[in-house]
Amino acid sequence: MTGVRVAGVGLTPFGAHEGRTGRDLFAEAALAALDDAGVAGDDVEHLNYGNFMGALAERQGHQAPLMAEAAGLRCAGTRYEEACASAGVAVREAVRAVRSGENDVLLAGGMERMTNLSTAEVTESLAVAADELFEVRAGVTFPGAYALMARAYFDEYGGDREDLAHVAAKNHANAVPNEYAQYQREITVEEALDSPAVASPLHLFDACPITDGASALVLVSEEYAEAHDIAAPVAVTGTGQGGDRAALQDRADMACTPAAADAAAEAYADAGVDSDDVDVAEVHDCFTIAEVLALEALDFFDPGEAVGAARRGDTTRDGDLPVNLSGGLKAKGHPVGATGGSQIAEMTRLLRGDHPNSDAVPDATVGLTHNAGGTVASAVVHVLEVAE
């Protein structure tokens, strides 16, 4: 089994891109990744592309061949859809293809265009990732669903809105120097607490924004990198995927995310590491409570302990485990089909030392990314390491 290296990464700025099409956004990220890798487009053997709501936002299905054409590729493409974990799954399947020997060079990533819709239309479009029959028809939206998870967590373990406000403030602070972040400004804990309620106990600054953006990665075999003298110091050494019941009412416990725990266990075993080996993490904080749930599922904290991690400073840039140095979904933004690829691109930059926040983790050698779909009915975890 061959090893997998991240040869290049590409991102668009996240935010509102008025007047631009989805294929334009993905082409920008893809061409940047190829340039970063020093790999010719003709060498790419397959495109693994993540997208969730393109058929609703742009009335465009069958996007993979369009995105390959936009990026100047002459290869087949496959679209992966797993709600907000779409790009994470696309990358995972690319890793598996390289490892198996089927491919030496793949382009993987994703794109989402959202700001061309109204807030109500985005909410309705995102809701199709929930159980339409038993949740959506009853009026459940994702802010409401994550509010239920937050209430369940508070009831079981304690914690309060101020703990979540510290998560929001931390991630906004991390986004300030990130040139790709949608919100490059700090907020205070007090501002988060005073923001308008969305779905109690969650308020405006507990939620990620509506975002356009694209991400792309060039993944290559170690043999290809060596043969073509490509500097690719970051390897994907672990990958895992987990699943859970889609509807919250069908779960035994809403205060934990077993899909993420299963994905993490698989990724750790695959990489031959455990949670104590991880130096830095990018986790799926679509809502502040989601970061808390992720940190416990990933075995960084025992149940009930992660809710106070940001307040204690455990997960800040100078803490023992810096989390979401990119700004996270909370402040960098969450173009849902692109997010999983964006996390890996940011982690690669952090480990290579060319991220604006790399100085917070100068000795980091092991990073983890966690990408979730829906109310974590789907989860993908990757372990990245600085190769020896």
Active site residues: 84, 334
List beta partners, residue 295. Answer: none
Query: Which among 352, 284, 349, 323 is positioned nearest to 9, based on CA atoms?
Result: 349
Give the neighbor-by-neighbor strand order of the sheet with 105-112: 76-80, 46-50, 105-112, 213-221, 4-11, 234-243, 378-386, 366-373, 280-282
Q: Are 86 and 195 in contact (CB under 8 A)?
A: no
Q: Are 179 and 13 in contact (CB under 8 A)?
A: yes
Question: DSSP string spanning 324-363?
Answer: -TT-HHHHH---GGGHHHHHHHHHHHHHHT-STTGGGSTT
Query: Which among 356, 343, 238, 337 is positioned nearest to 284, based on CA atoms?
Result: 343
Question: DSSP string spanning 59-102?
Answer: S---HHHHHHHHTT--SEEEEE-BTBTHHHHHHHHHHHHHHHTS
Query: Which among 301, 83, 117, 99 is positioned nearest to 211, based on CA atoms?
Result: 117
